[in-house]
Amino acid sequence: MRTICFFQTLARGLSKLPLHYKALRNSSVAAAAVALCGQTENCPLDGIQWMLDRSASGCHQWLMDHPWIVQASRAQNQIQLTPTATLLGSNLVAVTDAEHLRTLLSADLARVSLLNFWAPAAPCVQMNAVVAELAKKHPLILALNIEAEEQADIVESFEIDAVPSFVVLQGHTLLARIAGADAPTLTQTIATHAGPLPTSGAPSAPQNETPEQLDARMRALMTQSKVVLFMKGNPEEPRCGFSRKISTLLQQQSVPFSSFDILQDEDVRQSLKRLNDWPTFPQLIVNGEFVGGLDVVQEMVESGELKELVAQAGV
């Protein structure tokens, strides 16, 4: 009942926005259950269930930028916002209960997940920052924060004796366990299983590569993840102003993406220019299709088209 009341309050508040926010209103109402309540059941709105999986992170950020909506709901005691019920980022999630965890892990059995068992005290707080940074650096992993005292059943099922503790999974398969505030080991473990961000899933060039092989490698690079950015450098160390701006823009929009440094492979650089009929970099690819460079992406952000495109891609 509390969720339904919140939806009604949220819908009333969003209905006051200008008409050109119509799509955002609809997706915000739908995604609020995930983004703020951590719930997807009993949604009182028909025909928009598909938005729940596609718009939560973007709508969460939008709602955080418009606190008057949240404050109105709080004032009417229609929802309790707690750290354990918040989507923290596009791939950083606070687990609300055991069923929530099972749903997240089952959504993509090929995805690497990092389970962070923590408590609100040092050194867990410091390690939470490490986990957040790892989630940002490796956007293809799923980082799950699990507050030990609040989620005793999950703690017991994973046989956690002390916090901080970390469990690395691929789907439901155990890859590694790390006990204690061991940031170097945790960082190395994630790098090993998730792969370095700039080259994650990127096929290497064979010797004496034929044009056909090169084209096939380009297609593989363009589909290594739902969103791929071909840039100069990498998001942590961009090597041109345009690449820095577009990677920052994607991060601000909470869009998870992998990247490829075109300065490391001249064949890739020239082939992408030909394949996409676009002479400059950076180049943004969504679902294997060329979107555009910095100017195009900026315009799409301003018009809301980028958020819609990413949602349609299932990111």
pLDDT at residue 76 tops 90? no
pTM higher than 0.75, yes or no? no
Mean pLDDT across the stretch 79-92?
Answer: 46
Listed by start position, the domains of the chain span 2-81, 84-195, 198-312
Say how far apart CA 184 and CA 99 lie, in whole Å: 31
What local confidence, expressed as pLDDT, does residue 223 receive? 86
pLDDT at residue 156 tops 50? yes
CATH domain 198-312 topology: Glutaredoxin (3.40.30)
* Mean pLDDT, the chain, whole residue set: 74
What local confidence, expressed as pLDDT, does residue 194 receive? 79
pLDDT 10s digits, 161-171: 999 999 999 88
Q: Do domains 84-195 and 198-312 have the same CATH topology?
A: yes
Say how far apart CA 210 and CA 229 lie, in whole Å: 24
pLDDT at residue 303 tops 70? yes
pLDDT 10s digits, 283-299: 999 999 999 999 999 99
Portion of the chain with pLDDT greater than 90, in percent:
37
CATH class name, domain 84-195: alpha beta
CA 151 to chain centre: 23
DSSP assignments along 33-93, one per residue? IIIII---TT--SSS-GGGHHHHHHHHHHHHHT-HHHHHHHHHTT-----GGG-EEETTEE
What local confidence, expressed as pLDDT, does residue 96 receive? 92
What local confidence, expressed as pLDDT, does residue 74 receive? 36
pLDDT 10s digits, 104-117: 888 878 889 999 99
Q: Find the angle CA(96)-CA(313)-CA(263) to the nearest 5 degrees.
A: 105
Mean pLDDT across the stretch 18-29?
Answer: 37
5-19, 148-162, 300-314 — which is least confidently predicted?
5-19
